[in-house]
Amino acid sequence: MKKYLFVILSGILLFSLPSCGGKDNVIDEPPQETETAEDVPHRTGDEFIGISDKDISDLNISFSDSIPEDVTGNWRLATISDDIDFLEYAASYYNNYFKSDDEIHFIINYTDNTITCISKYYDEFIFLSVSEHVEGEENSAKKLQSGDFLNQYWVYLDNGDIEKIEE
Calculate mean pLDDT across residues 108-136.
Answer: 96
Domain boundaries, the chain: 48-165
Q: Please tell me the number of Cα atoms within 13 Å of 44 on its side-chain side.
A: 1
How much is the pTM?
Answer: 0.76
pLDDT band of 123, cuts 50, 70, 90? confident
Contact 151, 116 (CB under 8 A): no
The per-residue pLDDT for 38 is: 64
The per-residue pLDDT for 113 is: 97
For residue 80, is pLDDT > 90? yes
Q: What is the DSSP string of 66-118?
A: --TT-SSS-EEEEEE--SS-GGGGHHHHHHHH-S-TT-EEEEEETTTTEEEEE
For residue 13, is pLDDT > 80? no
Beta partners for 37? none
For residue 71, is pLDDT > 90? yes
Calculate mean pLDDT across residues 130-149.
Answer: 96
